[in-house]
Amino acid sequence: MGLLVVGTLAFDAIETPFERRTEVLGGSATHFAHAARFFAPVELVGVVGTDFPDQALRALEQRGIDVRGVEIAPGKTFRWSGRYEADWNTRVTLATELNVFERFDPKLPEAYRSARYLFLANAEPCVQMKALEQVTAPELVVADTMNLWIDIRLKDLEELLQRIDGLVVNEEEARMLTGKRNLFQAARALLERGPEFLIVKKGEHGAFLIGRDVRFALPAYPVEEVVDPTGAGDSFAGGFMGYLAGAKDLRPGSLRRAMLYGTVTASFCVEGFGVEALERLEKPRLEARFQELASLVTP
Amino acid sequence: MGLLVVGTLAFDAIETPFERRTEVLGGSATHFAHAARFFAPVELVGVVGTDFPDQALRALEQRGIDVRGVEIAPGKTFRWSGRYEADWNTRVTLATELNVFERFDPKLPEAYRSARYLFLANAEPCVQMKALEQVTAPELVVADTMNLWIDIRLKDLEELLQRIDGLVVNEEEARMLTGKRNLFQAARALLERGPEFLIVKKGEHGAFLIGRDVRFALPAYPVEEVVDPTGAGDSFAGGFMGYLAGAKDLRPGSLRRAMLYGTVTASFCVEGFGVEALERLEKPRLEARFQELASLVTP
């Protein structure tokens, strides 16, 4: 009945124009879950190594996130390191160590198979498909992807597109997938290949929602002090899907509100390293920023 | 009583990724007037050379634009040439020939001095100030500027800032003027130096309005086929101020609607070379796009 996310738990090493941090708790599923937990119970599927501190799992549980689907495998946890340039928009990946994630074979606990809302965080499309196939009757399936899979796993990705309701991409990915430079032409082309709607992430410039019955353009919340943009996209997805799972309503008005909540959770995410700012966040501040954003963008 | 614009009339030579055109009618005042004319009578002050075709002035007049303030001086009309790169965001100025604009000394016809709404298009700040001083009792003065004047005429520009109500800048200019990278910190710093509000133009990413009593973020209208972005900023200003002059209302709700109208007139501007698309435009299409944009951005 709940909201299920399948993705990574990771340790990140992050260099920003101002600071350098190592062993930051991150990963797509972690960010998603920390953002979604404000709205609905979250179930998490992923894999960590034996180096993953039990305390980090307990911290997730304490926030109402179900971690029974986190497998502990022999070896080391996924690690990513990257650097942000002074304009924050340029991100250079310094190293990716897949470690235990390389052989990630998602196995959903029996209790998770009835999930109605499913987020497939960025992973090899065949892994995303394996997870999807274990969910009995999902109502809303949204997937993220990346340029690497568009390059080397396009056929699998095309199959996945036919099985999902929503796709999350950035502008470059939308163009790569369709060969169309104009974002709206690209979006229309993608909607013909399966999904009901598309979310195009534009970072500090906001996000677009383009579906058959809905088009919504939203600027980003103006964060004054960005600390670390890592995980902003997954936090957006967490706020977006969390709100929908809580509201149990997929009509256009609800999708629009979900975009605002996604923008708000992403804005908190970037105010700290990893999930630190989302961990500290409480619902009243989240709601206050939602109201502030609504007033900022309402004509 | 009307809406007055002081700026350039020009001939542009424009290279886009798809086409190359010369002797395109352009200039800041031309673009502004063509956008503003839908909402209020426009009075234009500028200078052209003896090479400027009388027919071009008549075309402005036929659209209700008062050109009695256009001086015809011995010499050639202002000319600009530039190239847009494939991403449309990079614009390279190839040549600027000031010609008669170099000695531009704005002289307002007696009938213009009672203008209530004044737009000072980009020019040397002391020239903008000269025009401003000839207007008896303006209700709303908005000015544009550029990096060059921030570099070499900062003192004059600071004086101007204390005399205007609104300033139109792009992100780079806001940062140059304040030394603050964060746009909202830059905006606050600028509001302390005179203007009541700031419009920050972000091109294809929309625009922000930041004032003492109003903050409004608006994405751009999603134009499917950009032909020539030249003049988009001045067309934005034209739609923005035109709407305000027509509505005779400067309250926050009105400023927000003006931002939408500015976005709409700019979106038509970029669909043709120079003012071609605005020349062809009729009010019902403009209003239809306004409604479309409002629905695109309303949560």
Average pLDDT of chain B, as a whole number: 96
Higher-pLDDT residue of B132 and B182 is: B132
**Cα–Cα separations (whole angstroms), residue B33 to B7, B23, B78, B196:** 10, 19, 17, 23
pLDDT at B133 over 90: yes
Contacts with B206 from chain A: Cβ below 8 Å: 205-206, 219
If you average pLDDT over residues A119-125, what whole number do you get?
A: 97
CA of A103 vs chain B CAs: smallest distance (Å): 39
Contacts of B270 in chain A (CB under 8 A): none
A chain contacts of residue B208, beta-carbon cutoff 8 Å: 219, 222
Contact at CB, B297 and A216, closer than 8 angstroms:
yes
The pLDDT value recorded for residue A88 is: 84
Quick check: A180 contacting B, CB < 8 Å? no
Distances (CA, A) of A199 to A143, A149, A254, B31: 10, 18, 14, 34
Chain A: give the shortest CA distance to residue B66, in Å. 32
pLDDT at residue A283, as a whole number: 97
* % of chain B surpassing 90 pLDDT: 93
Using the predicted structure, report yes or no on whether residue B132 has a pLDDT greater than 70.
yes
Q: Would you state the structure tokens that stand for residue B121, as one six-digit string?
A: 């298009």
**pLDDT over 90, % of chain A:** 93
CA distances from B173 to B17, B145, B200 (A): 26, 8, 9
pLDDT of residue B288: 98
CA dist., res. A45 & res. A115, Å (int): 12
Among A202, A222, A260, the residue with its CB nearest the CB of B299 is A260
Residue in chain B lying closest to A180 (CA):
B224
Note whether B225 contacts A: Cβ–Cβ < 8 A: yes
ipTM of the complex: 0.89
Establish if B183 touches chain A: CB-CB under 8 angstroms.
yes
Q: What is the pTM of this model?
A: 0.93
Q: Which residue in B has a C-alpha nearest to residue A259's C-alpha? A: B299
CA distance A266 to A278: 9
Rounded (10°) CA dihedral A175, A176, A178, A180? 40
Mean pLDDT of B280-288: 97
- Assign B1 a pLDDT band (cuts: 50, 70, 90): low
- Residue of chain A with shortest Cα separation from B188: A224
Q: Which of A182, A202, A297 sits opposite B217 (nearest CB)?
A: A297
Q: For the segment A138-156, what is each residue's pLDDT rounded down to a tens digit?
A: 999 999 999 999 999 999 9
A222/B contact by beta carbon, under 8 A: yes
The predicted-structure confidence for A182-196, as pLDDT tens digits, reads as follows 888 899 999 999 999
Q: What is the pLDDT of residues B59-101, one digit of tens each?
A: 999 999 999 999 999 999 999 999 999 888 789 999 999 999 9
| pLDDT at position A213 over 90 | no
* A289 vs B: CB within 8 A: no
Q: What is the pLDDT of residues A74-112, one digit of tens each?
A: 999 999 999 999 888 789 999 999 999 999 999 999 999
